[in-house]
Protein backbone atom coordinates (compact mmCIF):
# COMPACT_ATOMS: atom_id res chain seq x y z
CA UNK A 1 0.00 0.00 0.00
CA UNK A 2 2.86 2.34 0.82
CA UNK A 3 3.93 2.32 -2.79
CA UNK A 4 0.81 4.27 -3.63
CA UNK A 5 2.20 7.29 -1.89
CA UNK A 6 5.28 7.46 -4.06
CA UNK A 7 4.32 9.42 -7.14
CA UNK A 8 5.19 7.83 -10.43
CA UNK A 9 6.97 9.76 -13.16
CA UNK A 10 3.64 10.26 -14.90
CA UNK A 11 2.11 11.66 -11.74
CA UNK A 12 4.89 14.20 -11.50
CA UNK A 13 4.66 15.17 -15.13
CA UNK A 14 0.90 15.53 -15.01
CA UNK A 15 1.16 17.80 -12.00
CA UNK A 16 4.19 19.71 -13.32
CA UNK A 17 2.55 23.00 -14.33
CA UNK A 18 1.11 23.58 -10.88
CA UNK A 19 4.40 22.53 -9.29
CA UNK A 20 6.34 25.05 -11.33
CA UNK A 21 3.94 27.87 -10.57
CA UNK A 22 3.81 27.21 -6.85
CA UNK A 23 7.58 26.81 -6.62
CA UNK A 24 8.14 30.06 -8.42
CA UNK A 25 5.60 31.82 -6.23
CA UNK A 26 7.20 30.53 -3.08
CA UNK A 27 10.65 31.43 -4.37
CA UNK A 28 9.48 34.98 -4.88
CA UNK A 29 8.33 35.29 -1.34
CA UNK A 30 11.73 34.08 -0.19
CA UNK A 31 13.57 36.48 -2.46
CA UNK A 32 11.35 39.38 -1.54
CA UNK A 33 13.47 40.78 1.31
CA UNK A 34 16.62 40.73 -0.83
CA UNK A 35 15.46 42.07 -4.16
CA UNK A 36 12.22 43.89 -3.61
CA UNK A 37 13.72 47.34 -3.14
CA UNK A 38 16.57 47.15 -5.61
CA UNK A 39 15.03 45.30 -8.53
CA UNK A 40 11.27 45.67 -8.59
CA UNK A 41 10.98 44.43 -12.17
CA UNK A 42 12.83 41.22 -11.41
CA UNK A 43 9.72 39.55 -10.03
CA UNK A 44 7.75 40.28 -13.14
CA UNK A 45 10.45 38.75 -15.31
CA UNK A 46 10.64 35.75 -13.03
CA UNK A 47 6.94 35.14 -13.13
CA UNK A 48 6.88 35.37 -16.91
CA UNK A 49 9.61 32.76 -17.00
CA UNK A 50 7.63 30.59 -14.60
CA UNK A 51 4.49 30.97 -16.65
CA UNK A 52 6.29 30.07 -19.84
CA UNK A 53 7.84 27.04 -18.17
CA UNK A 54 4.41 26.04 -16.87
CA UNK A 55 3.01 26.48 -20.36
CA UNK A 56 5.55 24.05 -21.77
CA UNK A 57 4.91 21.71 -18.85
CA UNK A 58 1.20 21.77 -19.60
CA UNK A 59 1.88 20.95 -23.24
CA UNK A 60 4.29 18.21 -22.22
CA UNK A 61 1.78 16.79 -19.78
CA UNK A 62 -0.75 16.59 -22.58
CA UNK A 63 1.61 14.19 -24.34
CA UNK A 64 1.00 11.73 -21.53
CA UNK A 65 -2.68 12.03 -20.75
CA UNK A 66 -4.36 10.10 -17.96
CA UNK A 67 -5.18 10.14 -14.28
CA UNK A 68 -2.70 11.13 -11.65
CA UNK A 69 -2.41 10.81 -7.91
CA UNK A 70 -5.03 8.11 -7.29
CA UNK A 71 -7.43 9.55 -9.86
CA UNK A 72 -7.61 12.89 -8.09
CA UNK A 73 -6.28 14.64 -11.15
CA UNK A 74 -6.86 14.00 -14.78
CA UNK A 75 -4.84 15.33 -17.65
CA UNK A 76 -6.81 15.31 -20.87
CA UNK A 77 -7.28 17.69 -23.76
CA UNK A 78 -9.88 19.59 -21.78
CA UNK A 79 -7.54 20.15 -18.83
CA UNK A 80 -4.71 21.12 -21.13
CA UNK A 81 -6.87 23.58 -23.04
CA UNK A 82 -7.82 25.43 -19.89
CA UNK A 83 -4.34 25.21 -18.39
CA UNK A 84 -2.91 26.83 -21.48
CA UNK A 85 -5.65 29.42 -21.43
CA UNK A 86 -5.22 30.50 -17.81
CA UNK A 87 -1.44 30.47 -18.04
CA UNK A 88 -1.61 32.66 -21.14
CA UNK A 89 -3.91 35.02 -19.29
CA UNK A 90 -1.37 35.04 -16.46
CA UNK A 91 1.39 36.06 -18.85
CA UNK A 92 -0.66 38.94 -20.20
CA UNK A 93 -1.60 39.97 -16.68
CA UNK A 94 2.07 40.30 -15.82
CA UNK A 95 2.81 42.28 -18.95
CA UNK A 96 0.01 44.68 -18.23
CA UNK A 97 1.05 45.08 -14.58
CA UNK A 98 4.66 46.21 -14.94
CA UNK A 99 3.94 49.82 -15.53
CA UNK A 100 0.86 49.92 -13.34
CA UNK A 101 2.68 48.72 -10.23
CA UNK A 102 5.46 51.15 -10.92
CA UNK A 103 2.99 54.01 -11.30
CA UNK A 104 1.19 53.12 -8.10
CA UNK A 105 4.50 52.51 -6.26
CA UNK A 106 3.28 49.11 -5.18
CA UNK A 107 5.24 46.07 -4.03
CA UNK A 108 5.91 43.76 -6.94
CA UNK A 109 7.01 40.52 -5.31
CA UNK A 110 3.79 39.69 -3.48
CA UNK A 111 1.70 40.74 -6.41
CA UNK A 112 3.40 38.39 -8.81
CA UNK A 113 3.52 35.59 -6.26
CA UNK A 114 -0.23 35.92 -5.73
CA UNK A 115 -0.77 35.88 -9.46
CA UNK A 116 1.22 32.69 -9.75
CA UNK A 117 -0.72 31.09 -6.91
CA UNK A 118 -4.03 32.08 -8.41
CA UNK A 119 -3.11 30.62 -11.77
CA UNK A 120 -1.83 27.44 -10.15
CA UNK A 121 -5.19 27.04 -8.43
CA UNK A 122 -6.95 27.55 -11.73
CA UNK A 123 -4.74 24.98 -13.45
CA UNK A 124 -5.63 22.58 -10.67
CA UNK A 125 -9.32 23.25 -11.17
CA UNK A 126 -9.00 22.53 -14.85
CA UNK A 127 -7.32 19.21 -14.20
CA UNK A 128 -9.38 17.97 -11.24
CA UNK A 129 -11.26 14.76 -11.38
CA UNK A 130 -12.48 14.99 -7.83
CA UNK A 131 -14.87 17.34 -6.14
CA UNK A 132 -12.49 17.88 -3.24
CA UNK A 133 -9.64 18.73 -5.61
CA UNK A 134 -11.93 21.12 -7.38
CA UNK A 135 -12.67 22.74 -4.08
CA UNK A 136 -8.99 23.02 -3.18
CA UNK A 137 -8.12 24.48 -6.54
CA UNK A 138 -10.98 26.91 -6.28
CA UNK A 139 -9.85 28.05 -2.85
CA UNK A 140 -6.23 28.51 -3.90
CA UNK A 141 -7.40 30.60 -6.81
CA UNK A 142 -10.04 32.50 -4.87
CA UNK A 143 -7.98 33.43 -1.84
CA UNK A 144 -5.18 34.73 -4.02
CA UNK A 145 -7.77 36.64 -6.03
CA UNK A 146 -9.33 38.19 -2.91
CA UNK A 147 -5.97 39.53 -1.88
CA UNK A 148 -5.21 40.76 -5.37
CA UNK A 149 -8.51 42.62 -5.53
CA UNK A 150 -7.45 44.63 -2.50
CA UNK A 151 -3.83 44.83 -3.40
CA UNK A 152 -3.43 48.60 -3.07
CA UNK A 153 -4.41 48.51 0.56
CA UNK A 154 -4.45 52.28 1.01
CA UNK A 155 -7.06 52.67 -1.65
CA UNK A 156 -10.65 52.70 -0.42
CA UNK A 157 -12.07 51.24 -3.59
CA UNK A 158 -9.61 48.36 -3.45
CA UNK A 159 -10.67 47.56 0.07
CA UNK A 160 -14.31 47.63 -0.81
CA UNK A 161 -13.77 45.39 -3.79
CA UNK A 162 -11.73 42.90 -1.82
CA UNK A 163 -14.21 42.70 1.03
CA UNK A 164 -17.17 42.25 -1.27
CA UNK A 165 -15.39 39.70 -3.33
CA UNK A 166 -14.27 37.83 -0.25
CA UNK A 167 -17.65 37.75 1.52
CA UNK A 168 -19.73 36.80 -1.49
CA UNK A 169 -17.06 34.48 -2.79
CA UNK A 170 -16.83 32.52 0.45
CA UNK A 171 -20.59 32.38 0.61
CA UNK A 172 -20.63 30.87 -2.86
CA UNK A 173 -17.93 28.39 -1.98
CA UNK A 174 -20.09 27.35 0.96
CA UNK A 175 -22.94 26.47 -1.38
CA UNK A 176 -20.60 24.53 -3.58
CA UNK A 177 -19.32 22.63 -0.58
CA UNK A 178 -22.85 21.77 0.51
CA UNK A 179 -23.42 20.36 -2.92
CA UNK A 180 -20.24 18.33 -2.70
CA UNK A 181 -21.28 16.99 0.70
CA UNK A 182 -24.69 15.95 -0.62
CA UNK A 183 -23.15 14.24 -3.60
CA UNK A 184 -20.79 12.35 -1.37
CA UNK A 185 -23.64 11.33 0.88
CA UNK A 186 -25.69 10.12 -2.06
CA UNK A 187 -23.04 8.36 -4.05
CA UNK A 188 -20.28 7.61 -1.60
CA UNK A 189 -17.68 9.15 -3.84
CA UNK A 190 -16.26 12.49 -4.81
CA UNK A 191 -14.61 11.28 -8.00
CA UNK A 192 -16.46 12.67 -10.94
CA UNK A 193 -16.46 9.49 -13.00
CA UNK A 194 -17.65 7.43 -10.06
CA UNK A 195 -20.35 9.97 -9.24
CA UNK A 196 -21.51 9.71 -12.82
CA UNK A 197 -21.83 5.93 -12.58
CA UNK A 198 -23.61 6.15 -9.25
CA UNK A 199 -26.13 8.71 -10.47
CA UNK A 200 -26.80 6.78 -13.64
CA UNK A 201 -27.53 3.65 -11.63
CA UNK A 202 -31.16 2.95 -10.77
CA UNK A 203 -32.47 3.45 -7.28
CA UNK A 204 -30.82 6.75 -6.45
CA UNK A 205 -32.95 9.64 -5.26
CA UNK A 206 -32.99 11.95 -8.25
CA UNK A 207 -34.59 14.68 -6.18
CA UNK A 208 -31.61 14.80 -3.87
CA UNK A 209 -29.24 14.68 -6.82
CA UNK A 210 -31.06 17.63 -8.29
CA UNK A 211 -30.77 19.50 -4.99
CA UNK A 212 -27.04 18.84 -5.00
CA UNK A 213 -26.83 20.03 -8.58
CA UNK A 214 -28.80 23.13 -7.70
CA UNK A 215 -26.47 23.98 -4.82
CA UNK A 216 -23.48 23.58 -7.10
CA UNK A 217 -25.12 25.74 -9.75
CA UNK A 218 -25.50 28.46 -7.14
CA UNK A 219 -21.88 28.18 -6.08
CA UNK A 220 -20.53 28.07 -9.60
CA UNK A 221 -23.01 30.69 -10.74
CA UNK A 222 -21.35 33.10 -8.33
CA UNK A 223 -17.91 32.25 -9.62
CA UNK A 224 -18.81 32.75 -13.26
CA UNK A 225 -20.93 35.82 -12.40
CA UNK A 226 -24.05 34.43 -13.98
CA UNK A 227 -27.32 36.14 -13.06
CA UNK A 228 -28.96 36.12 -10.54
CA UNK A 229 -25.62 35.70 -8.71
CA UNK A 230 -23.85 38.46 -10.58
CA UNK A 231 -24.15 41.35 -8.14
CA UNK A 232 -20.54 41.36 -7.02
CA UNK A 233 -18.94 41.48 -10.44
CA UNK A 234 -19.34 45.14 -11.43
CA UNK A 235 -18.34 46.37 -7.97
CA UNK A 236 -15.28 44.20 -7.82
CA UNK A 237 -14.13 44.92 -11.36
CA UNK A 238 -14.61 48.61 -10.75
CA UNK A 239 -12.86 48.69 -7.40
CA UNK A 240 -9.94 46.36 -7.96
CA UNK A 241 -6.71 47.61 -9.53
CA UNK A 242 -7.19 47.62 -13.30
CA UNK A 243 -4.73 44.84 -14.15
CA UNK A 244 -6.29 42.71 -11.42
CA UNK A 245 -9.73 43.38 -12.87
CA UNK A 246 -8.45 42.23 -16.24
CA UNK A 247 -7.21 39.06 -14.60
CA UNK A 248 -10.34 38.50 -12.49
CA UNK A 249 -12.64 38.96 -15.45
CA UNK A 250 -10.85 36.29 -17.42
CA UNK A 251 -8.78 33.63 -15.64
CA UNK A 252 -10.94 32.68 -12.60
CA UNK A 253 -13.95 32.82 -14.85
CA UNK A 254 -12.38 30.50 -17.40
CA UNK A 255 -11.40 28.07 -14.65
CA UNK A 256 -14.83 28.25 -13.06
CA UNK A 257 -16.43 27.49 -16.39
CA UNK A 258 -14.00 24.62 -16.80
CA UNK A 259 -15.24 22.97 -13.61
CA UNK A 260 -18.80 23.94 -14.44
CA UNK A 261 -18.48 22.04 -17.69
CA UNK A 262 -16.63 19.16 -16.16
CA UNK A 263 -19.07 18.64 -13.33
CA UNK A 264 -22.20 19.04 -15.37
CA UNK A 265 -21.06 17.26 -18.48
CA UNK A 266 -19.59 14.32 -16.58
CA UNK A 267 -20.98 13.82 -13.09
CA UNK A 268 -24.44 15.29 -13.50
CA UNK A 269 -24.89 14.28 -17.12
CA UNK A 270 -27.51 11.61 -16.22
CA UNK A 271 -29.80 14.25 -14.71
CA UNK A 272 -29.14 16.78 -17.45
CA UNK A 273 -32.79 17.26 -18.31
CA UNK A 274 -33.48 18.65 -14.85
CA UNK A 275 -30.79 21.33 -14.89
CA UNK A 276 -31.33 22.42 -18.46
CA UNK A 277 -34.29 24.75 -17.73
CA UNK A 278 -32.41 26.28 -14.83
CA UNK A 279 -29.44 27.07 -17.01
CA UNK A 280 -31.76 28.32 -19.74
CA UNK A 281 -33.14 30.94 -17.39
CA UNK A 282 -29.72 31.76 -15.99
CA UNK A 283 -28.28 32.25 -19.43
CA UNK A 284 -31.06 34.55 -20.55
CA UNK A 285 -31.00 36.53 -17.31
CA UNK A 286 -27.24 36.97 -17.44
CA UNK A 287 -27.28 38.21 -21.01
CA UNK A 288 -30.19 40.53 -20.45
CA UNK A 289 -29.18 41.95 -17.08
CA UNK A 290 -25.57 42.33 -18.14
CA UNK A 291 -26.33 44.07 -21.38
CA UNK A 292 -29.09 46.33 -20.17
CA UNK A 293 -27.23 47.38 -17.04
CA UNK A 294 -24.14 48.15 -19.10
CA UNK A 295 -26.11 50.56 -21.27
CA UNK A 296 -26.05 53.34 -18.70
CA UNK A 297 -22.58 52.94 -17.23
CA UNK A 298 -20.12 55.80 -17.29
CA UNK A 299 -17.13 54.00 -15.84
CA UNK A 300 -15.29 51.82 -18.31
CA UNK A 301 -14.30 49.22 -15.74
CA UNK A 302 -17.82 48.95 -14.47
CA UNK A 303 -19.17 48.71 -17.96
CA UNK A 304 -16.75 45.92 -18.74
CA UNK A 305 -17.92 44.29 -15.51
CA UNK A 306 -21.50 44.24 -16.72
CA UNK A 307 -20.41 43.17 -20.15
CA UNK A 308 -18.59 40.24 -18.56
CA UNK A 309 -21.89 39.17 -17.01
CA UNK A 310 -23.47 39.25 -20.44
CA UNK A 311 -20.62 37.22 -21.88
CA UNK A 312 -21.03 34.70 -19.10
CA UNK A 313 -24.62 34.50 -20.30
CA UNK A 314 -23.50 33.62 -23.84
CA UNK A 315 -21.28 30.89 -22.47
CA UNK A 316 -24.16 29.57 -20.37
CA UNK A 317 -26.16 29.33 -23.58
CA UNK A 318 -23.47 27.01 -24.87
CA UNK A 319 -23.60 24.92 -21.70
CA UNK A 320 -27.39 24.82 -21.83
CA UNK A 321 -27.23 23.18 -25.22
CA UNK A 322 -25.77 20.07 -23.56
CA UNK A 323 -23.82 18.81 -26.52
CA UNK A 324 -20.23 18.40 -27.48
CA UNK A 325 -20.66 21.27 -29.88
CA UNK A 326 -21.87 23.33 -26.93
CA UNK A 327 -18.84 22.40 -24.86
CA UNK A 328 -16.58 23.23 -27.79
CA UNK A 329 -18.36 26.53 -28.25
CA UNK A 330 -17.98 27.44 -24.57
CA UNK A 331 -14.29 26.58 -24.64
CA UNK A 332 -13.67 28.54 -27.81
CA UNK A 333 -15.61 31.50 -26.57
CA UNK A 334 -13.71 31.61 -23.31
CA UNK A 335 -10.46 31.92 -25.24
CA UNK A 336 -11.84 34.64 -27.50
CA UNK A 337 -13.39 36.40 -24.54
CA UNK A 338 -10.14 36.29 -22.57
CA UNK A 339 -8.19 37.87 -25.39
CA UNK A 340 -10.62 40.69 -26.06
CA UNK A 341 -11.11 41.47 -22.42
CA UNK A 342 -7.40 41.53 -21.64
CA UNK A 343 -6.93 43.89 -24.54
CA UNK A 344 -9.76 46.18 -23.51
CA UNK A 345 -8.56 46.30 -19.94
CA UNK A 346 -5.01 46.95 -21.11
CA UNK A 347 -6.24 50.17 -22.68
CA UNK A 348 -7.99 51.03 -19.42
CA UNK A 349 -4.73 50.44 -17.56
CA UNK A 350 -2.94 52.60 -20.07
CA UNK A 351 -5.45 55.41 -19.75
CA UNK A 352 -6.08 55.25 -16.02
CA UNK A 353 -3.21 57.39 -14.78
CA UNK A 354 -1.90 57.44 -11.23
CA UNK A 355 -4.60 56.56 -8.72
CA UNK A 356 -6.89 55.48 -11.57
CA UNK A 357 -8.38 58.90 -11.98
CA UNK A 358 -9.26 58.51 -15.67
CA UNK A 359 -11.47 55.49 -15.97
CA UNK A 360 -14.63 57.18 -17.20
CA UNK A 361 -15.78 56.55 -20.75
CA UNK A 362 -15.42 60.25 -21.48
CA UNK A 363 -11.77 60.12 -20.57
CA UNK A 364 -11.19 58.16 -23.76
CA UNK A 365 -12.33 61.15 -25.80
CA UNK A 366 -10.19 61.86 -28.82
CA UNK A 367 -7.87 58.95 -28.22
CA UNK A 368 -7.84 58.25 -31.94
CA UNK A 369 -6.31 61.65 -32.61
CA UNK A 370 -3.63 61.40 -29.97
CA UNK A 371 -2.71 57.74 -30.16
CA UNK A 372 -4.21 56.22 -33.29
CA UNK A 373 -2.59 52.84 -32.72
CA UNK A 374 -3.97 52.43 -29.21
CA UNK A 375 -7.38 53.47 -30.44
CA UNK A 376 -7.20 51.08 -33.37
CA UNK A 377 -6.27 48.20 -31.09
CA UNK A 378 -9.11 48.98 -28.70
CA UNK A 379 -11.39 49.12 -31.73
CA UNK A 380 -10.39 45.57 -32.59
CA UNK A 381 -11.33 44.41 -29.09
CA UNK A 382 -14.59 46.31 -29.08
CA UNK A 383 -15.59 44.94 -32.46
CA UNK A 384 -14.82 41.52 -31.13
CA UNK A 385 -16.92 42.17 -28.02
CA UNK A 386 -19.77 43.32 -30.25
CA UNK A 387 -19.30 40.25 -32.39
CA UNK A 388 -18.38 41.66 -35.75
CA UNK A 389 -17.13 39.10 -38.27
CA UNK A 390 -13.44 38.36 -38.71
CA UNK A 391 -12.89 38.66 -34.97
CA UNK A 392 -12.74 35.86 -32.42
CA UNK A 393 -15.75 37.22 -30.61
CA UNK A 394 -17.90 36.80 -33.67
CA UNK A 395 -16.83 33.30 -34.44
CA UNK A 396 -17.27 32.31 -30.81
CA UNK A 397 -20.77 33.73 -30.72
CA UNK A 398 -21.60 32.12 -34.02
CA UNK A 399 -20.46 28.78 -32.68
CA UNK A 400 -22.42 29.18 -29.46
CA UNK A 401 -25.64 29.98 -31.25
CA UNK A 402 -25.03 27.19 -33.68
CA UNK A 403 -24.80 24.83 -30.72
CA UNK A 404 -27.99 26.28 -29.29
CA UNK A 405 -29.90 25.90 -32.54
CA UNK A 406 -28.69 22.36 -33.04
CA UNK A 407 -30.08 21.57 -29.61
CA UNK A 408 -33.37 23.21 -30.58
CA UNK A 409 -32.94 26.14 -28.24
CA UNK A 410 -34.37 28.41 -30.88
CA UNK A 411 -35.77 31.05 -28.57
CA UNK A 412 -32.68 31.22 -26.44
CA UNK A 413 -30.60 31.68 -29.59
CA UNK A 414 -32.85 34.40 -30.97
CA UNK A 415 -33.03 36.27 -27.68
CA UNK A 416 -29.28 35.90 -27.25
CA UNK A 417 -28.61 37.28 -30.69
CA UNK A 418 -30.94 40.21 -30.10
CA UNK A 419 -29.09 40.78 -26.86
CA UNK A 420 -25.87 41.09 -28.77
CA UNK A 421 -27.49 43.82 -30.83
CA UNK A 422 -28.35 45.67 -27.61
CA UNK A 423 -24.77 45.24 -26.48
CA UNK A 424 -23.56 46.92 -29.63
CA UNK A 425 -24.98 50.16 -28.32
CA UNK A 426 -22.78 50.52 -25.27
CA UNK A 427 -19.68 49.22 -26.97
CA UNK A 428 -20.23 51.73 -29.73
CA UNK A 429 -20.11 54.52 -27.17
CA UNK A 430 -16.45 53.74 -26.63
CA UNK A 431 -15.84 54.03 -30.35
CA UNK A 432 -17.84 57.23 -30.47
CA UNK A 433 -15.84 58.99 -27.79
CA UNK A 434 -12.53 57.72 -29.10
CA UNK A 435 -13.06 58.65 -32.73
CA UNK A 436 -15.71 61.32 -32.80
CA UNK A 437 -15.00 63.55 -29.82
CA UNK A 438 -12.24 66.06 -29.30
CA UNK A 439 -9.37 65.02 -27.05
CA UNK A 440 -10.06 65.19 -23.33
CA UNK A 441 -7.61 66.31 -20.67
CA UNK A 442 -6.82 62.70 -20.01
CA UNK A 443 -5.90 61.92 -23.59
CA UNK A 444 -3.98 65.18 -24.01
CA UNK A 445 -1.70 64.26 -21.14
CA UNK A 446 -1.37 60.63 -22.10
CA UNK A 447 2.05 59.02 -22.03
CA UNK A 448 3.11 56.77 -24.88
CA UNK A 449 2.39 53.05 -24.59
CA UNK A 450 4.85 51.22 -22.40
CA UNK A 451 6.49 48.08 -23.79
CA UNK A 452 4.64 45.81 -21.38
CA UNK A 453 1.24 47.19 -22.32
CA UNK A 454 2.20 47.07 -25.96
CA UNK A 455 2.64 43.31 -25.61
CA UNK A 456 -0.65 43.02 -23.72
CA UNK A 457 -2.39 44.90 -26.53
CA UNK A 458 -0.79 43.74 -29.73
CA UNK A 459 -0.65 40.00 -29.07
CA UNK A 460 -4.29 39.72 -27.97
CA UNK A 461 -5.29 41.77 -31.02
CA UNK A 462 -3.42 39.38 -33.28
CA UNK A 463 -4.98 36.50 -31.39
CA UNK A 464 -8.43 37.99 -31.81
CA UNK A 465 -7.94 38.14 -35.56
CA UNK A 466 -6.53 34.63 -35.70
CA UNK A 467 -9.51 33.27 -33.79
CA UNK A 468 -11.80 35.15 -36.14
CA UNK A 469 -10.18 34.42 -39.48
CA UNK A 470 -8.48 31.09 -38.94
CA UNK A 471 -10.23 29.56 -35.95
CA UNK A 472 -9.41 26.03 -37.10
CA UNK A 473 -6.50 25.26 -34.82
CA UNK A 474 -8.06 26.34 -31.55
CA UNK A 475 -11.43 25.00 -32.58
CA UNK A 476 -10.06 21.58 -33.41
CA UNK A 477 -8.20 21.45 -30.14
CA UNK A 478 -11.36 22.39 -28.28
CA UNK A 479 -13.44 19.92 -30.23
CA UNK A 480 -11.07 17.06 -29.55
CA UNK A 481 -11.05 18.01 -25.90
CA UNK A 482 -14.79 18.50 -25.59
CA UNK A 483 -15.48 14.81 -25.38
CA UNK A 484 -15.09 14.75 -21.62
CA UNK A 485 -17.36 12.35 -19.89
CA UNK A 486 -16.80 9.71 -22.52
Partner 1 sequence: MTLLDIIIAIPALGCILALLIPRNQAQFSRLFTLAVSLVTFVASLGLVTGFDQKATGQQFVTNFVWIQNPEIHYHIGIDGLSLWLIMLATFLTPIAILISWNYIQDRAKEFYAFLLLLEFGLIGVFSAWDLFLFYVFWEVVLIPMYFLIGIWGHDRRIYAAVKFFLYTMVGSVLMLAAIIFLYTQAGTFDYVTVLDMLQSGRIALTHTEETLLFLAFFLAFAIKVPLFPLHTWLPDAHVEAPTAGSVMLASVMLKMGTYGLVRFCLPMFPGAARENAPWIATLAIIGIVYGALVAMVQPNMKKLVAYSSVSHLGFVVLGVFSFNQMGLDGAVYQMLNHGISTGALFVLVGFLYERKHSLAIKDYGGVATMAPWLSIVFMITTFASIGLPTLNNFVGEFLVLQGAAIRSISWAAFAGLGVILSACYMLWMYQRVFFGTVDGVEAPADAHGGHDDHAPAAHGHDAHGHDSHGHSMPDLSPREWACVVPLVVMMVWMGMYSQSFLPVISAENARILDSTRKSPISSNVKITPVTGGSANAR
Give the nearer residue to partner 1 in terms of CB position, either 53 or 390.
Answer: 390
Interface with partner 1, residue 478, by CB under 8 A: no
| Binding region for partner 1 (CB under 8 A) out of 300-308, 339-347, 406-414, 441-449 | 406-414
Give the nearer residue to partner 1 in terms of CB position, either 191 or 429.
Answer: 429
Sole binder of partner 1 in the list 167, 418, 445, 462 (CB under 8 A): 418
**Distance (Å) of CA 475 to CA 108, 237, 468, 471, 484:** 36, 29, 11, 6, 15
| Binding region for partner 1 (CB under 8 A) out of 93-101, 106-114, 270-278, 412-420 | 412-420
**CB distance 430 to 361 below 8 Å:** yes
Give the nearer residue to partner 1 in terms of CB position, either 206 or 436.
Answer: 436
Report, in Å, the least distance between residue 366 CB and partner 1. 11
**CB distance 82 to 229 below 8 Å:** no
Report, in Å, the least distance between residue 407 CB and partner 1. 9
| Binding region for partner 1 (CB under 8 A) out of 217-225, 234-242, 278-286, 418-426 | 418-426
Interface with partner 1, residue 462, by CB under 8 A: no
Interface with partner 1, residue 398, by CB under 8 A: yes
Report, in Å, the least distance between residue 402 CB and partner 1. 5
Q: How much is the CA Rg of the chain, to the nearest whole Å?
A: 21
Report, in Å, the least distance between residue 324 CB and partner 1. 12
Interface with partner 1, residue 168, by CB under 8 A: no
Give the nearer residue to partner 1 in terms of CB position, either 64 or 444.
Answer: 444
Give the nearer residue to partner 1 in terms of CB position, either 183 or 423.
Answer: 423
Interface with partner 1, residue 466, by CB under 8 A: no
Give the nearer residue to partner 1 in terms of CB position, either 184 or 435.
Answer: 435
Interface with partner 1, residue 420, by CB under 8 A: yes
Interface with partner 1, residue 438, by CB under 8 A: no
* Of the candidates 275, 257, 238, the residue with the CA atom closest to the CA atom of residue 334: 257
Report, in Å, the least distance between residue 464 CB and partner 1. 14
In the stretch 351-390, what mask flags binding to partner 1 with x, by CB under 8 A? -----------------xx-------------x--x-xxx
Interface with partner 1, residue 282, by CB under 8 A: no
Interface with partner 1, residue 157, by CB under 8 A: no
Q: What is the 3-state secondary structure (H, E, C) of the chain?
A: CHHHHCCCHHHHHHCHHHHHHHHHHHHHHHHHHHHCCCCHHHHHHHHHHHHHHHHHHHHHHHCCCEEECCCCEEECHHHHHHHHHHHHHHHHHHHHHHHHHHHCCCCCHHHHHHHHHHHHHHHHHHCECEHHHHHHHHHHHHHHHHHHHCCCCCCHHHHHHHHHHHHHHHHHHHHHHHHHHHHHHHHCCCEHHHHHHHHHCCCCCHHHHHHHHHHHHHHHHHHCCCCCCCCHHHHHHHHCCHHHHHHHHHHHHHHHHHHHHHHHHHHCHHHHHHHHHHHHHHHHHHHHHHHHHHCCCCEHHHHHHHHHHHHHHHHHHHHHCCCHHHHHHHHHHHHHHHHHHHHHHHHHHHHHCHHHCCCEHHHHCCHHHHCHHHHHHHHHHHHHHHCCCCCHHHHHHHHHHHHHHHCCCHHHHHHHHHHHHHHHHHHHHHHHHHHHCCCCHHHHCCCCCCHHHHHHHHHHHHHHHHHHHCCHHHHHHHHHHCCCCC
CA distance 117 to 93: 13
Interface with partner 1, residue 318, by CB under 8 A: no
Task: Find the binding residues for partner 1 in span 197-226 (CB under 8 A).
Answer: none
Interface with partner 1, residue 410, by CB under 8 A: yes
Give the nearer residue to partner 1 in terms of CB position, either 34 or 473.
Answer: 473
Interface with partner 1, residue 406, by CB under 8 A: yes
> How many positions of this chain bind partner 1 (CB under 8 A)?
34
Report, in Å, the least distance between residue 410 CB and partner 1. 7
Interface with partner 1, residue 476, by CB under 8 A: yes
Sole binder of partner 1 in the list 201, 428, 445, 462 (CB under 8 A): 428
- In terms of Cβ atoms closer than 10 Å to its own Cβ (0-12, 13-18, 19+), residue 4 is exposed
In the stretch 35-74, what mask flags binding to partner 1 with x, by CB under 8 A? ----------------------------------------
Binding site for partner 1 (CB under 8 A): 368-369, 383, 386, 388-390, 394, 398-399, 401-402, 405-406, 410, 413-414, 417-418, 420-421, 424-425, 428, 431-432, 435-436, 470-472, 475-476, 479
Amino acid sequence: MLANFTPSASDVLRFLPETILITAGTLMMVLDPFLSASKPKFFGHLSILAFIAALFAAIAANGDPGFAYSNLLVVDGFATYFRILVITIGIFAVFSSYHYLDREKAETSEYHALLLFAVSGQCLMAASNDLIMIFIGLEISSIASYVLAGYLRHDKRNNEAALKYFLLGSFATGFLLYGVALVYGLTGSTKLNEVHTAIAAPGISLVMVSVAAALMIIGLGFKVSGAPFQMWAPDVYQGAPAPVSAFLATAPKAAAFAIFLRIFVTAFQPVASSWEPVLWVMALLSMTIGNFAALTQKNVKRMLGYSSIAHAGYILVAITSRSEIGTTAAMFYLAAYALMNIGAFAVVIHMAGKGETNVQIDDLAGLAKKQPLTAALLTVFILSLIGVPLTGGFFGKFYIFRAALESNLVWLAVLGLLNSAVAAYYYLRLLVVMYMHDPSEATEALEPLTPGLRVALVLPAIGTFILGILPGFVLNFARDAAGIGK
